[in-house]
Structure 1
Amino acid sequence: MSIPSLPDALPAPRRPSPSSVPRLRWGVLGTGWIASRFVASLQASTTQRVVAVGSRTQTSADAFAGTSDIERAHPSAEALVADPEVDVVYVATPHHLHLAGALLAIRAGKHVLVEKPLGLNASEAQEISDAAAAAGVFCMEAMWTLFLPRLDVVRQVLDAGLLGHVRTVLADHGEHFDPPHRILDPAMAGGSLLDLGTYVTMLATWALGPATRVLATGETTGTGVNGQAAMLLTHAGDATSVLHSTLLTRTPTTATIAGTAATLTLPGPFFMPGDVVVTSADGSRSVTWTDPEPIGHGALFHSALEVARCIGEGLLESPLHPAAAVQSNLRALDEVTRQLGVTYSSTP
């Protein structure tokens, strides 16, 4: 295999512009932190329309609609998915409600974008994906990192073989949370793994393929959820990923994808907008792509643009994050939870 030398500049991202995709009418299921940031990102950076919100009570829906300038507020998930003015439903409920909310929208004939994780485990994710395929509607997990311009630069670096044979992924995601945050609540499928760990396992399985072996150790909080986990994954050809997630401490949140010819570094937080640095294996040369977008959740709109692009092209899943990739990630996490004795349950 001939390995290209490092270019003078890294490739420009190829993500769609807001004006190049169909203008869809969005309904948002859930009124929490991520829902508000998603709506704000769409309204600030796209021509997508958020036309309705659904919550468990009319009061909650009305309050969210009022602060987010949304036309209609529904007092239930059932009412939201029945709204004929909604094209696509963004499921922004807590993890344990993703399965029920996604299936409800799919059965109503709506396209769905489901906040990560798509399901609590690979089985739930498969059920959602299969239901969407059978119904002929689009379905995608909102793993927003994969749709950032930053990650498309990484994608092109990998596709061009600039790193040589990729052998190692290192990734870390740690934040500190205090009660009463839902991440500490076992009844809401809390813990570090589904909120934070999914980012690091996603990066590893995206860059190296499915895990063939998983070793994990971890710590449980006083509330009974996983506080932190250290994970060692083996992939095809004995490539290795070394991963860590924690909700107990703030960590560097950096990531590295290392090959025989060069090493790619994502300064923290690696899962948000930020720079891409590629350094030759001997350390003699380095080239950087500088992200013009500010770090933060204002970039959530990129996942919505991908949804609109795919629906406009008649696709039922995103080629950048298909059901098979979601399954690969969640199977690795399933084995981690098995080894750590972590269990989750969905709410019917």
Structure 2
Amino acid sequence: MPDPHVVTTKQAPPAEVRWAIVGTGDISRTVAPDFAAIPGARRAAVLSRSLQKARTFSEEFDFGRAFDDLDTLLTDPEIDAVYIATPHALHAPMALRAITAGKHVLVEKPIGVNAVEARKIAEAAQGQGVFAMEAMWMKFNPSFRSFIAQAHAGRIGDIRAVRGYFGLPFATEDSTRWSAERSSSTLLDQGIYPVTLALELLGKPSGIIADGLVRADGVDVTEHVTLRYDGGRFAHLAASMVQFIEPTASASGTSGWMTIPAPFMAASQYAIHIMDGTLNGTVFSSPEISRFDREGNGYVPMFRAVTEAIRRGETEHEWHPLRASIDVFDVLDGIRSAMAASQSVHDH
């Protein structure tokens, strides 16, 4: 039976995928070297607001031509796909322009700033018959994929609780992380990982409790969240860009628990603690450790999977379809609403 998430493109699939990177910030500099390790992917172009920055980036990472105008890049027939790594507020507008131009798109997370934008991208990509995906690299990490598979296979029994934290202080005030105009948000930048983890393990929640710290300009800087599920199951999540909150994760079940070390979204190992009939020391002292090799800076598995999907003529990847991004955003929007309600109570 065909996978419902795999859709065939209206276009003839390319023999190789000619990639352009849009944006030359820190994330682009981190992921650019990993493109070199992808069979069937050609580093074709880079775009920046500054042509000189684009040229410097292209020379450093061997990305071919340099552009400083998005429309010029998008009308170029020598480019098949664009990886968009700009500030949050530009993700959806740029993705929609690229899709309209017939380009395949991989959008750095978050795919937009709310569920409305995520749905617009999904609808546009379906209409144009091009590949579109949010670059949630965690879901392509071999260690993370194994962790999720083992949990769903019942290794720790029935999953009852999930925990995911990601707090790291970012003190540079002139960073795009602190810009209300650019839709900066701890929830969108860091909290999206714990939320994605929770939905992978427990699905969408029946209720949301959330609170945190929000600046006067609307930029959220810390949040702690409880997702409620039927039968007393729950997920406890937290994120911050002003303090450390141990960036680890766990899943707990009726016969044991599993842990991922820091940083959990990029870890290369995890541990399974299983109770072997009696509650003795082994459940604590002798966990089963699974280890995996890291490829490049960690983005190789995602870029390889997306490039292969495009070459097969698919418009989504089954490991992270657009429906999954929309589901996560429905929860993110719910968290923001719950935080706003909590802030209102505090104010009064």
The bucket for the TM-score relative to the shorter chain is 0.7 to 0.9
Shift of 1:315: 2.0
Equivalent in the alignment of 2:307:
308
**Is 1:246 equivalent to 2:240 in the alignment?**
yes
Call closer, same or farther: CA 1:337–1:45 in 2, change over 3 Å. same
Amino acid at match of 2:222: Q
Equivalent in the alignment of 2:287:
286
Aligned partners of 2:37, 2:114: CA distance in 1, in Å? Answer: 33
Equivalent in the alignment of 1:108:
101
Q: What secondary structure does 1:186 align onto?
A: coil
Equivalent in the alignment of 1:345:
none
Shift of 1:152: 1.9
1:178-193 map, 5 Å: 178=171, 179-193=173-187
Call closer, same or farther: CA 1:236–1:50 in 2, change over 3 Å. farther
1:148-297 map, 5 Å: 148-178=141-171, 179-221=173-215, 224-281=218-275, 282=279, 284=283, 286-293=287-294
Runs of 4+ in 1 over 6 A off after TM superposition: none
Aligned partners of 1:230, 1:156: CA distance in 2, in Å? Answer: 26
Q: What secondary structure does 2:272 align onto?
A: strand
Give deviations 1:58-79, integer Å, cap 9, x for gaps.
2332222222222101121111
Call closer, same or farther: CA 1:25–1:159 in 2, change over 3 Å. same
Shift of 1:247: 0.5
Aligned partners of 1:149, 1:226: CA distance in 2, in Å? Answer: 31
Q: What secondary structure does 1:298 align onto?
A: coil
Aligned partners of 1:309, 1:234: CA distance in 2, in Å? Answer: 37
**Is 1:56 equivalent to 2:49 in the alignment?**
yes
Call closer, same or farther: CA 1:22–1:268 in 2, change over 3 Å. farther
Contact 1:115 1:143 (C-alpha < 8 Å) held by counterparts: yes
Amino acid at match of 1:319: E
Call closer, same or farther: CA 1:175–1:223 in 2, change over 3 Å. farther
Contact 1:211 1:328 (C-alpha < 8 Å) held by counterparts: no
Aligned partners of 1:22, 1:152: CA distance in 2, in Å? Answer: 28
Q: RMSD value over aligned CA atoms?
A: 2.0
2:126 is matched with which residue: 116, 130, 133? 133
Aligned partners of 2:226, 2:245: CA distance in 1, in Å? Answer: 18
Structure 2: 5+ residue runs without aligned partners? 1-13, 342-348
Equivalent in the alignment of 1:338:
337
Q: What secondary structure does 1:341 align onto?
A: helix
Contact 1:182 1:190 (C-alpha < 8 Å) held by counterparts: yes
Contact 1:113 1:142 (C-alpha < 8 Å) held by counterparts: yes
Give deviations 1:64-109, integer Å, cap 9, x for gaps.
2222222101121111211211111101111000111101110111
Equivalent in the alignment of 2:325:
326
Contact 1:53 1:72 (C-alpha < 8 Å) held by counterparts: yes
Amino acid at match of 1:335: G
Q: What secondary structure does 2:164 align onto?
A: strand
State TM-score, norm by structure 1.
Answer: 0.87
Give deviations 1:297-322, integer Å, cap 9, x for gaps.
70112211111122233321111111
Q: What secondary structure does 2:294 align onto?
A: coil
Aligned partners of 1:301, 1:83: CA distance in 2, in Å? Answer: 26
Aligned partners of 1:324, 1:238: CA distance in 2, in Å? Answer: 26
Amino acid at match of 1:313: R
Shift of 1:151: 1.4
Contact 2:22 2:48 (C-alpha < 8 Å) held by counterparts: yes
1:35 is matched with which residue: 28, 35, 57? 28
Shift of 1:56: 2.4
The percentage of counterpart residues that share the same residue type is 32
Aligned partners of 2:331, 2:253: CA distance in 1, in Å? Answer: 22
Call closer, same or farther: CA 1:316–1:216 in 2, change over 3 Å. same
Amino acid at match of 1:111: H
Contact 1:22 1:309 (C-alpha < 8 Å) held by counterparts: no
Aligned partners of 1:126, 1:45: CA distance in 2, in Å? Answer: 29
Stretch deviating more after TM superposition (239-248 or 298-307)? 298-307
Shift of 1:221: 3.8
Equivalent in the alignment of 1:99:
92
**Is 1:72 equivalent to 2:65 in the alignment?**
yes
Structure 1: 5+ residue runs without aligned partners? 1-20, 343-348
Shift of 1:44: 4.9
Q: What secondary structure does 1:188 align onto?
A: coil
Shift of 1:22: 6.4
Contact 2:251 2:259 (C-alpha < 8 Å) held by counterparts: yes
Equivalent in the alignment of 2:3:
none
Aligned partners of 1:292, 1:58: CA distance in 2, in Å? Answer: 37
State TM-score, norm by structure 2.
Answer: 0.87
